[in-house]
């Protein structure tokens, strides 16, 4: 068997469906950031174990959870409340042989639009390291953290279904405004440390996590990022094949990039005024 880890903060709407999709698991852990709605009671009623910690940033929060939550099993499937474990993924992880040199496995996530359409082409990052040994995994970056496995990585079949618009457009925008705050803080930190990013690794690295890290770092240095991202998603990834949902999603992602630019400028102006 495996353990399941679910991160929550005021997830009374989405958590019941998430818990139902992992009802086959005998060791479900809800890692909660002191929700003030019915999240904890819903998790308790479902038989999940509750651990609470005040959220500071994504990597610190995730690293603390992996180090301190008493998982029953050696392998952990990590999901969010707005995600669902498909039947195919359930079957794959239950049949997984833990006696292996692997320390983590990539799995494919399907992002769904507000109308229920799979954003098959518009989705930028389909593979995530969400199935792993917690003692061999750590995270870096304040937001959109990079997974750093300590050992070889494989891939497992089945889909993890994600519903990022389950709470509506307003929630999505508010959440990405907070992400933009942390992305801008990371941008200033990289600038202050003189972090170097490699074109070679961004284009040719066989390690998906390393590749994304360098792609993101280089992308932040490019002018006209929102327009570039929109063109990449619509034409490069052919988001138009997902219909109006695909082009709308690309537009929202471009707006998110502009949020990051505005917040970075704001932080730079504040820093310059204080110096």
For residues 155 and 55, membership in a common domain is answered with yes
Given 128, 162, 196, which residue is the final one in a domain?
Answer: 162
Domain count, the chain: 2
pLDDT at 44: 98
Instruction: Report the CATH number that the domain containing residue 112 is assigned in CATH.
Output: 3.90.550.10
Distance CA 132, CA 154 (A): 10
For residues 158 and 243, membership in a common domain is answered with no
For residues 132 and 228, membership in a common domain is answered with no
For the stretch 189-209, pLDDT in tens is 777 777 788 878 878 787 766
For residues 14 and 107, membership in a common domain is answered with yes
For residues 57 and 112, membership in a common domain is answered with yes
Task: Examine the pLDDT at 219 and tell me if it is beyond 80.
Answer: no
pLDDT at 76: 98
For the stretch 224-258, pLDDT in tens is 899 999 999 999 999 999 999 999 999 999 999 99
Percent of the chain with pLDDT over 90: 74
For residues 204 and 117, membership in a common domain is answered with no
SS (H, E, C) the chain: CCEEEEEECCCCCCHHHHHHHCCCCCCEEEEECCCCCCHHHHHHHCCCEEEECCCCCHHHHHHHHHHHCCCCCCCEEEEECCEEECHHHHHHHHCCCCCCCCCEEEEEEEEECCCCCECCCCCCCCEEEEEECHHHEEEECCCCCEEEECCCEEEEEEEEEECCCCCCHHHHHHHHHHHHHHHHHHHHHHHHHCCCCCHHHHHHCCCHHHHHHHHHHHHCCCCCHHHHHHHHHHHHCCHHHHCHHHHHHHHHHHHHHHHHHHHHHHHHHHHHHHC
pLDDT at 208: 66
For residues 72 and 94, membership in a common domain is answered with yes
For residues 268 and 148, membership in a common domain is answered with no
Task: Examine the pLDDT at 122 and tell me if it is beyond 70.
Answer: yes
For residues 94 and 216, membership in a common domain is answered with no
- With tokens 């929202």, the residue in question is 252
For the stretch 82-120, pLDDT in tens is 999 999 999 999 999 888 999 999 999 999 999 999 999
For the stretch 154-165, pLDDT in tens is 999 999 999 999
For the stretch 164-176, pLDDT in tens is 999 999 999 999 9
Strands 137-140 and 127-132: unpaired
pLDDT at 209: 66
Is the model more confident about 105 or about 268?
105
Question: What does the block give as tokens for 66?
Answer: 């992996």
pLDDT at 14: 98
Given 162, 184, 211, which residue is the final one in a domain?
Answer: 162
Task: Examine the pLDDT at 124 and tell me if it is beyond 90.
Answer: no
pLDDT at 27: 98
Percent of the chain with pLDDT over 70: 99
Q: Sorting pLDDT into bands at 50, 70 and 90, what band is 47?
A: very high
Greatest alpha-carbon pair distance for the chain in Å reads: 58
pLDDT at 83: 98
pLDDT at 240: 97
For residues 185 and 74, membership in a common domain is answered with no
Distance CA 189, CA 28 (A): 36
Distance CA 29, CA 68 (A): 12
For the stretch 142-152, pLDDT in tens is 888 889 999 99
For residues 137 and 9, membership in a common domain is answered with yes
Please answer whether residues 230 and 250 qualify as being in contact, where contact means their C-beta atoms are separated by less than 8 angstroms: yes
Distance CA 172, CA 112 (A): 13
For residues 31 and 77, membership in a common domain is answered with yes
Given 129, 144, 162, which residue is the final one in a domain?
Answer: 162
pLDDT at 50: 98
Domain enclosing residue 265, as ranges: 169-274
């Amino acid at each position: 068997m495996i353990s399941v880890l679910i991160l929550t903060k005021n997830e009374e709407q989405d958590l019941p469906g998430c818990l139902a999709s992992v009802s086959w698991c005998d060791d479900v852990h809800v890692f909660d950031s002191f929700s003030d709605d019915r999240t904890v009671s819903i998790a308790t009623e479902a038989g999940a174990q509750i651990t609470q910690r005040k959220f500071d940033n994504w990597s610190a929060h995730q690293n603390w959870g992996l180090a301190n939550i008493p998982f029953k099993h050696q392998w952990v499937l990590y999901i969010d409340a707005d995600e669902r474990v498909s039947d195919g993924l359930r079957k794959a992880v239950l049949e997984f042989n833990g006696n292996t040199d692997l320390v983590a496995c990539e799995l494919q996530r399907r992002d769904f639009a507000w109308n229920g359409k799979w954003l098959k082409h518009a989705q930028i990052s389909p593979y995530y390291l969400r199935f792993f040994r917690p003692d061999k995994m750590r995270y870096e970056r304040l937001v959109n953290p990079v997974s750093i496995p300590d050992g070889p990585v494989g891939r497992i079949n089945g889909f993890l279904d994600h519903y990022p618009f389950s709470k509506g457009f307003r929630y999505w925008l508010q959440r990405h405004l907070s992400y933009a705050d942390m992305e801008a803080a990371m941008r200033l930190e990289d600038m202050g440390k003189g972090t170097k990013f490699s074109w070679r690794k961004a284009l040719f690295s066989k390690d998906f996590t390393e590749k994304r890290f360098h792609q993101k770092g280089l992308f932040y240095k490019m002018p006209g990022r929102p327009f570039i991202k929109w063109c990449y998603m619509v034409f490069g990834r052919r988001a138009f094949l997902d219909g109006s949902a695909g082009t709308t999603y690309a537009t929202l992602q471009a707006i998110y990039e502009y949020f990051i630019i505005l917040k970075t400028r704001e932080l730079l102006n504040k820093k310059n005024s204080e110096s």
